[in-house]
Amino acid sequence: RQQNVILYHPYDSFMPVVDFLRQAARDPKVLAIKQTLYRIGSNSPIVDALLEAREDGRQVSVLVELKARFDEENNLGWARALEKAGVHVVYGLVGLKTHAKMTMVVRRESTGLRRYVHLGTGNYNLVTARVYSDFGLFTIDEDIAEDVSELFNVLTGYAHQTKYRKLLVAPTAMRTELLERIEREAERHRTYGDGYLAFKMNALVDKQIIQALYRASQAGVKIDLQVRGICALRPGIPGVSSTISVTSIVGRFLEHTRIYYFHNGGQEELFLGSADLMPRNLDRRVELLFPLEGADLILVRDAALAVHLKDTAQARILQTDGSYRRAEGDGFDSQQWMLDNWGFRGSDSDPGITQLRSPA
């Protein structure tokens, strides 16, 4: 209730997310629970908590994405079970997959109604949370809560919304918002010489985004990209992308999180979320990116993004010709560092946080 809570799975357990829903299900002061479900899995304590909440008289609304590839049968079965229990089940907007990960709990308190929100970069799936790296945020930020409430209204057909207070939402505005921020960084660098971008994602194939990154590089902006899978951008081309570096980490855990960092002359912005930089994510899915601010931004910037960018043990470096070579260096394994150190963040035994590469 006092501050945001950031979890980085699998370095943090996924059980706090499950417990959040279980406690909400059993709390007589909770009036409503709303959630999106994409990859649910065959045995889901998340769904069990939602069913329990409905049995105890809570209002429960769930968006189940029936077109989640390879999970269609599981999701259909869970949707039927939820409907049978009296849960308000919806299936999203026609022609769009809902890939956004969000939960909202509405609770009656002495000061009035309060909305508790969880947003994530990965699925509400206890199995994949053990092997996929993903962030989750618990927050009571009023602007984010209002955005999430309005987005749920859009997904259930009760509203039409294109602009949000803090969230970047696809397919309505995310592409434009990202392009504007990349161009802002280029303009900033032309004037002050301190432009810097760092993105971490699963795939980068969107033509407009790639062209914007090329333009930023040509303006002199330093750009660090970490793309686990396919990357259609070519780094290191003189006069085109000479200030861009691209790495990919393939290690013990599947790098699934998405992080978008904009230096912005020291007025930094950092977004987490469900969207990769692909046409399908930006144009044909409901996706969201959510901002971190203050200490939360610094934590993820320095203790996650910067650490992964330093990797020389599992990282491969994308070459101009599209091939990859192993990173050279001291064999620094960012995933092992996370296992050893992430749990000590903010404590007296914190081993020290690396700093993101200086944009200067």
Q: Which residue numbers are catalytic?
A: 99
Angle between helices 45-55 and 72-84 (to 10 degrees): 10
Q: Could you tell me which of 66, 67, 38, 37 has the C-alpha nearest to residue 50? A: 37
Supply angle C-alpha 339, 292, 340, rounded to 5.
10
User: Which neighbouring-strand residues pair with 226?
Assistant: 200, 247
Q: Are 274 and 258 in contact (CB under 8 A)?
A: yes
The rounded distance, in Å, linking the Cα atoms of 274 and 38 is 11
The rounded distance, in Å, linking the Cα atoms of 264 and 196 is 8
Q: Are 286 and 93 in contact (CB under 8 A)?
A: yes
Length of the chain as a residue count? 360
Displacement of CA 314 from its chain's centroid (Å):
22
Distance from the first to the final alpha carbon of the chain: 38
- Find out whether the peptide bond into 45 is cis, omega within 30 degrees of 0: no
Spatial CB neighbours of 196, under 8 Å, sequence gap ≥ 6: 185, 221, 222, 223, 263, 357, 359
The rounded distance, in Å, linking the Cα atoms of 38 and 28 is 28
Spatial CB neighbours of 174, under 8 Å, sequence gap ≥ 6: 168, 275, 282, 287, 288, 289
